[in-house]
Amino acid sequence: MSDTLTEVRSGARADTVTGLLAEIASIGADRTRGGYSRPVFSSAELELREWFIAHATRRGLDVHTDANGIIQAWWHGSGAGAAGSPGADALASGDPASADPASADPQGAVLTGSHLDSVPGGGAFDGPLGVASSLIAVDHLKRRGIQPVRSLVVAVFPEEEGSRFGVACLGSRLLSGAIDPVRALALKDENGDTFGDLARRNGLDPERFGVDTGFLDSVSSFVELHVEQGRGLIDLDRPVAIGSSILGHGRWRISIHGEGNHAGTTLMEDRRDPIVAAARVIQAVRDIARSHPFARATVGRIVPVPGGTNVIASRVDVWLDVRHPDDLVTAAIVELIRGAAVQLSAEEGCSAELVEESFSATVAFDAPLRDRLARVLPDAPILDTGAGHDAGVLASMLPTAMLFVRNPSGISHSPEEYAEDADAEAGAVALADVLADLIA
């Protein structure tokens, strides 16, 4: 048993958001990059999942892991049937979709939570802040003497960042049917391990991955709290905001093929170097994005093959992220980048291809739910975000909303990501206020 879990089970840490985050401050710390590296199915991410289960159990929540690897911690409402959560009966029968959600909670449960995985070298708050805040929100509700009518479910979604298998929000995509399970199972990490293989090694049954209509039908709404990934709140001098929309965004892989050769024996004029072509393409990505107001385009990962210091690469894979409020503009930008990649690579004696790995259209959160949050939190501004979230994926299946907690650095996906202690606690109180209204 880890020291962290020993402390959880003994109740050694304070029941505050900052106290919970302090418990996990050493888990997945990246000494090379700084910050945290917690990819799905890593020892760090698995330890964090145990940490969450221990805390949810300590709070008397009914915890299980569904067929897609999503942890669900249920606080059953008085309107729920004797069967409890739909997952409990389903796991007993071996089929999570077989339970009758109406018998579990005819009024529809309220879902909250976030994720625990991270990007490489990410910050301490992206994901864990929402999970910790959900647990503390349960504490606030219980201290207020609230007995929920609708059940409350705190969830932890796996592979939200897509840092290991390249597809963001993989757990919520599987749950909602936004990705074909066959494609998901075949996704490979940099070591050549498939998502299906690793899922099986970690106790999941790949045969059961996919849409869980029983659970989705049993949920009435989803509210996700997240650290803000920008400067909206610091500029407005507010601790908490309500989300309005998520910019459309996607990931593409550009593969540039050249000719591998010896670095010492190949004259410069005889080279077909994909690294040089990739450098020109990356500059073009920046220039194309700059020519479109409000566009964001990023190359954040470059992998040369074979990757030797004294070897001219034979291929370079470049991963591209493009975002814009208008999905048609996003598509136009990607096509311009595709054309530039083909042309610039050809000028270096190379070839290029662009393949889409994932795309999420612009999402406007449910207006009635957003307005309901605004009535509960009248001082909270309403902001959009350029970052993707599980709430954005599930928005096609049920009403979703988001709360953002101020990040004074304005920086995310980096060790500099931050939230003041007072703002973190204010976020949990705001979440509790919202949930109190929704589960009544």
Give the pLDDT confidence of 258-270 residue by residue, as tens digits: 999 999 999 999 9
- Which pLDDT value is given to residue 372? 97
Q: What is the pLDDT of residue 166?
A: 86
pLDDT digits (tens, 9 = 90+) for 93-152: 344 443 443 345 667 999 999 999 999 999 999 999 999 999 999 999 999 999 999 999
A 10 A CB-CB count for 26 gives 12
What radius of gyration, in Å, describes the C-alpha atoms of the chain? 23
Average pLDDT (386-405) is: 92
Q: Tokens for 67, please give them.
A: 């067929």
The reported pLDDT for the residue numbered 95 is: 45
Q: What pLDDT is stored for residue 90 in this prediction?
A: 43
Per-residue pLDDT band for 8 (boundaries 50, 70, 90) equals low
- Collapsing DSSP states into helix, strand and coil, what is residue 157? strand
Read off the pTM: 0.80
Band the pLDDT of 358: cuts 50, 70, 90. confident
What's the count of helices (H) and strands (E) in the chain, helices before strands? 16, 15
List, for residues 401-440, the tens digit of each pLDDT value: 999 999 998 888 889 999 999 999 999 999 999 999 999 8
With CA atoms as reference, report the closest residue to 374 among 407, 402, 406.
402
In the structure encoding, which two tokens stand for residue 366, read together?
């449910």
Distance CA 52, CA 225 (A): 16
d(CA 20, CA 43): 19
Using 50, 70 and 90 to split pLDDT, how confident is the model at 13? low
pLDDT reported for residue 84 = 43
